Structure 1
Amino acid sequence: NTTHYRENCWLFVMSEPTSSGTVKWFSSTKGFGFITSADGEDVFVHQSDIHAQGYRSLAEGEQVEFVLKRDGQGRNKAVSVTGVGGAFVVGERRGDSDGITHL
């Protein structure tokens, strides 16, 4: 079951079921954070798994979609993280000084 997303004529293909959630917090300084999934679970996210145009970050409260994977220690991890509908994420506003992104 493959889902296709189109953003600015760039096709992003998700070959696995996606989950949705809200960014709980994200530290652009550390390059990671957590997403609260629709079922209430906090899921780890690393900057390398974010679909962004340019700088990869997430904003607190941002709605996202992702593929849920298990890491080597059996913990859930969000990969292929996009904005709603497969769009690029919004990410942080430049100039936030605490290293944690806010809307």
Structure 2
Amino acid sequence: MPSGKVRWFDANRGFGFITGDEGQDVFLPASALPAGISTVRKGARVDFSVAEGRKGPQALDLKLVGSTPSIVKATRPAPDDMAAIVEDLIKLLDSAGNGLRRHHYPAPAESKKLATLLRAVADDFDVPA
């Protein structure tokens, strides 16, 4: 049974590609995924069967061997740094809250900056399991 890594997979389009350990590219249709799994991450190690499809080799009966570690998890800030970031964000939110209590939304540029910061901090907290 050949093995390789998922090169990419798009659940919305329903397919992707695997790069086999020998270097060949293999088409990966969503129908080849194990029951109950609707997507696989880039870099996930897989074993699969191969059949000749209309446009070349096609994976069948995919088995997940393991997945790559999360890039988000590997690049998130240290807890001490994150504490400082959260404290600074609290100050910014407190300032925005004071303005809102006086019935004034922050200026558009300030609102955009605050929204961007909130999303970035949220991304650092939201780490896939």
Confirm or deny a common fold (TM above 0.5). Answer: yes
- Is 1:65 equivalent to 2:47 in the alignment? yes
TM-aligned CA deviation for residue 56 of structure 1? 1.9
CA distance in 2, matches of 1:77, 1:29: 19
**1:38-82 deviation per Cα after TM superposition (whole angstroms, max 9, x unaligned):** 101111000111114x23211100000000110134x10011011
Opposite residue 59 of structure 2, the aligned amino acid is A
Q: Which runs of 5+ in 2 are unaligned?
A: 71-129
Counterpart secondary structure, 1:57: coil
Of the two, which has the highest radius of gyration?
A: 2
1:78 aligned residue: 59
Counterpart secondary structure, 2:31: helix
- Is 1:22 equivalent to 2:5 in the alignment? yes
Q: Report the identity percentage.
A: 34
The structure with the largest helix share of the pair is 2
**CA RMSD in angstroms, aligned pairs only:** 1.9
| Structure 1 moving runs of 4+ over 4 Å | none
In the superposition, the TM-score normalised over structure 1's length comes to 0.60
Counterpart secondary structure, 2:28: strand
Count the aligned residue pairs.
68
2:109 aligned residue: none
CA distance in 1, matches of 2:59, 2:40: 13
Work out which of the residue numbers 28, 32, 42 in structure 2 matches 1:49.
32
CA distance in 2, matches of 1:58, 1:69: 20
CA distance in 1, matches of 2:37, 2:4: 21
The structure with the largest strand share of the pair is 1
